[in-house]
A and B are shown apart, each in its own frame.
Chain A
Amino acid sequence: MKRGFLLVTLALLTTGALRLAANEVGMMHPPKTIVAGTGFSIPTSGDGEAALYIVGPAQVIRRNIKLGETVTFAASDLVNAGHYSVSIVSGSFSQSADMDVLSAPQAASISLLAKPSRLPVDRPQGISGVAYVFDTFRNLILQNVPVEFQLSVLSGAPSTQTVETKNGVAWIRMNSGAKAGIAQLQAHVESVSEKRVLQEVPSEPCRLKMTAQGAGEKIKLQTDPLRDCSGNAVPDGTVVTFTETYPEGIATVDVPLKRGIAQTEMPAHPGAVISVATGVVLGNEIHWGGAR
């Protein structure tokens, strides 16, 4: 009982002595959190000269101070968000605390990634957009903010989705439009916006049909104008393959589209079967010298 009382008394005395010593040398009371780019102050107590350090990977500050005075910092002094160690050192005495600098709540810039830069029309969930939102000091804003994504095409109404950021990032997936051409993906946060341009190109041809016409020992082959299922003309240069199979062998010709159609000539073998294809689309077959 007596021993316990003694221990408690000793502990209280030690704590008191330490506090007294610290007060004599100096104490500081930094704010627990501040917002980046705002002024703040650190009151100190004690006597004498000391060095004050605010240290983090994103920024570092050192000040010579007089203990007992309040150290003030201007709005421009500490602008990088992060966790900081705050220390005062006076001779062999040092005291440390920590402080968080939060990103400013107002968005000032958006880092927008839109992919792919070129894609076929009518592709479900074909476009992805990722937006990272920053404040004016290029700190990632970690508080949730709504980001409006808008995909606009030359013809037709824009499609819009609003997504809240989580840990500073928001993302979406959107369908590509029905009409080929230039599309714009925009991300808006408050009055800040960022855009990326995408190229929507025609999809695979919807239907591939060819016709054949005899010309002496040759057959003239020609496709109908190629369009995708949304009516967009398949771009010139798309390769169409004509294949002729006859009893003695096989012949193949690859022809690029010109003005929306592909045409070629192949030898007229009686009983030949001629087929046409482009990409993954197979067209009609023609039986030459027999029933069509």
Chain B
Amino acid sequence: MKSFAQILCKPILIAVIAWAALFASGIEQPEMRVGPTASVGPRVLEDQTEKVVIRDYKEAWQGLSNALAENRTDLLDADFVGIAKEKLINTIREQQKLGIQTRYTERSHDVKLVFYSPEGLSIQLLDTVEYDVQITDHEKAQAVQHLRTRYVAVLTPTEVRWKVRIFQGAPE
């Protein structure tokens, strides 16, 4: 004969796991809003191009987050080139020297594509992004801060995907 507590225990456990899963999936899937692209120019932006650029930009944030959290420069190769990559590599090297790691957890993106160059070799977007940054110093979690700012990103096409060439935070 099961006690009342035993009967209640299983559904509560399932509910807790379900909530945890829901919460975790919420963390992994930041909300991504994309503004209207009708006025992007001077080159006409095809739907397919827009989708691929947004997909690659989103993946670039994941790459950045993993690279800075694990202090691994190789994780930037897939998504970054040029100045953006060089600056991120320098940050990771500085983190390694100081013994710190930073974890960027995106909460939401509000992306607006603003410029598609006439020859199709660069595309610029503005992203109002909300994220948490957690600082870990010698394996010890030190501080977590919620931030909201605007990023200016310029992506350029490479062999198989668009990569971030300029990545810069700016006041809203």
Contact = CB atoms under 8 A, between A and B. Distances in A.
Range class of the B interface residue count: 35 or more
A83 B170 contact: yes
Contact of A128 (B87, B90, B118, B133): B118
Nearest to B156: A113
A168 interface: yes
B77 to A, nearest CB: 16
Given A83-B171, A98-B145, 16 more contacts: A51-B142, A57-B64, A57-B167, A58-B169, A80-B87, A84-B169, A85-B133, A85-B143, A103-B168, A113-B117, A116-B119, A130-B117, A130-B122, A167-B114, A167-B124, A168-B166
Contact of A96 (B64, B117, B145, B149): B145
What does DSSP make chain A's interface, helix, strand, loop or mixed? strand
B100 A62 contact: yes
Interface stretch (A16-24, A132-140, A176-184, A207-215): A132-140
A173 interface: yes
B166 A140 contact: yes
A58 B147 contact: no
A100 B169 contact: yes
Given A53-B100, A82-B169, A173-B42, A58 B142 contact: no
B85 to A, nearest CB: 11
B119 A169 contact: no
A282 to B, nearest CB: 32
Given A51-B142, A87-B142, A169-B124, A57 B115 contact: no
A87 B87 contact: no
